Amino acid sequence: MTAIDGARLLDDLATLARFGACGPGVDRVALSEADIAARRWLAERMREAGLEATMDRVGNVVGRDPRAALAILIGSHSDTVPRGGRLDGALGVIYALEIARSLREHEAGGPASPIGIDVVSFQDEEGTYLPFLGSRTFCGTLDEAEIASARSADGHPLADALRPLAEEPAPHRLDPARHLAFVEAHIEQGPRLEAARKRIGVVTGIVGIRRFRIVATGAANHAGTTPMALRRDAGAALIRIAADLLDRFPALAGDETVWNIGAIAFRPGAANVVPGVAELSLEMRDLDPAVLDRLEQAATERVAAESAAESGAGVSATIARTTTVAPTAMAPDLIEAMTAAAQSLGETPVMLPSGAGHDAMELGRVLPAGMLFVPSIGGISHDVAEATSDADIVRGCEVLAEAVDGLRRRLATAGR
């Protein structure tokens, strides 16, 4: 078994958190000075661990195990949201570094195993310019046109932000002849492990996301002088649709389905004006496309029914899907390896879907992928208050190291 060094792991996490430190958290958005400096530091740490490490011209840092022709790729991202936490992304990158380093020490003097460990920190997972810029570049699923048109929320072009990296090597790419699997550890970013008093989560898959815009159209008019029977009230129609969907969804949903009406707007939007146009955004997430199909169908039927019922009153309603993210299943072998590793160390893992997107979603479309979660105190993330106890951080890395050991053994005996 590869024994990791918990104190060294915590020390590296603390050092990484100094790049862009912001109170107890970190502000290290993609391609900022702090982000690039952190990546150069990471590459140096990887080199010290015996890896061949470089940052490429999108800012991905990959450390390659020079002794092995085959490798398991481990990592996450080291960019953060503005005023983010010190663990989101960083945890998975430092776990990977510590596991690769411990393996090297464990094998010192002896023969290297046929399956090595490559370490990665992907760029802009958080989407400051383009969500999953790094992992999509690595997987070859991003085209130049997307890079050329991407801008930050304040209008800064991605192409400009990448200019300081123009002299760096060409982007690292996934190597299908080398990379056997991708493993990512991450903080849970939710309350479930803490509520269950468990220290390890094994991710079953990353949910699919569908978003919709529902628009009701009537006519604005004076709310004091227009009799109720003569109104073309788009707002009332939209509220009826929304209330009905919230009533109906529970019976159609799976155990893990979530949905959200996250924004609603009436126009013109005044106390004394009947709304002429009303609009809401509806989002739904689940691992199972069939569940999302059911909810989508219910929403579509309800909107059509409202439109039909109100046509005499001069109100119509439409629904359009605006975002589609397909679910990504985690590989059964990796789920099994993580579960077995947790159990062998005396933990009872919680099996759960990831409700948030991760780099493993992109990697999981082209390579067997697995994810491990550690608890988030209070379920808080994307905030400077994000935290996990030191003991849980170390335990998570021990479980991941054990899982990777098991996986390497199994792959080696399987002849790969």
Site for Zn ion, rule CB under 5 A? 88-89
C-alpha–C-alpha distance, residues 191 and 184, integer Å: 19
Supply the minimum distance, in Å, between the C-beta of residue 382 and Zn ion.
Answer: 9
Supply the minimum distance, in Å, between the C-beta of residue 48 and Zn ion.
Answer: 25
Of 216 and 374, the one with the shorter C-beta distance to Zn ion is 374
Of 89 and 134, the one with the shorter C-beta distance to Zn ion is 89
Of 25 and 235, the one with the shorter C-beta distance to Zn ion is 25
Of 183 and 303, the one with the shorter C-beta distance to Zn ion is 183
Supply the minimum distance, in Å, between the C-beta of residue 186 and Zn ion.
Answer: 6
Of 386 and 405, the one with the shorter C-beta distance to Zn ion is 386
Q: How far lies 31's CA from each of 42, 86, 315, 393, in Å?
A: 15, 17, 48, 27
Supply the minimum distance, in Å, between the C-beta of residue 283 and Zn ion.
Answer: 19
Of 129 and 249, the one with the shorter C-beta distance to Zn ion is 129
Supply the minimum distance, in Å, between the C-beta of residue 172 and Zn ion.
Answer: 19
C-alpha–C-alpha distance, residues 398 and 70, integer Å: 22
Supply the minimum distance, in Å, between the C-beta of residue 93 and Zn ion.
Answer: 10
Supply the minimum distance, in Å, between the C-beta of residue 383 and Zn ion.
Answer: 13
Give the residue from 67, 69, 330, 333 showing the smallest Cα distance to 177. Answer: 69
> CB of 283 within 8 A of CB of 260?
yes
Give the residue from 166, 307, 34 showing the smallest Cα distance to 26. Answer: 34
Of 81 and 220, the one with the shorter C-beta distance to Zn ion is 81
Q: In 3-state terms, what secondary structure has residue 359?
A: helix
How far does CA 285 lie from the centroid of its chain? 13
Residue 50 Rama label (left phi>0; alpha psi -120 to 50; beta): left
Of 89 and 201, the one with the shorter C-beta distance to Zn ion is 89
> CB of 218 within 8 A of CB of 276?
yes
C-alpha–C-alpha distance, residues 202 and 373, integer Å: 6
Supply the minimum distance, in Å, between the C-beta of residue 84 and Zn ion.
Answer: 9
H or E stretch covering 97? helix 90-106
Adjacent-strand bridge partners of 59: none
Of 76 and 257, the one with the shorter C-beta distance to Zn ion is 76
Supply the minimum distance, in Å, between the C-beta of residue 121 and Zn ion.
Answer: 11
Cβ neighbours of residue 327 closer than 8 Å, sequence gap 6 or more: 205, 206, 207, 208, 286, 287, 288, 289
Distance in Å from the first CA to the final CA of the chain: 20
Supply the minimum distance, in Å, between the C-beta of residue 396 and Zn ion.
Answer: 14
Of 88 and 233, the one with the shorter C-beta distance to Zn ion is 88
Q: In 3-state terms, what secondary structure has residue 28?
A: coil
Q: Is the peptide bond before 368 cis (omega within 30 degrees of 0)?
A: no
> CB of 217 within 8 A of CB of 317?
yes
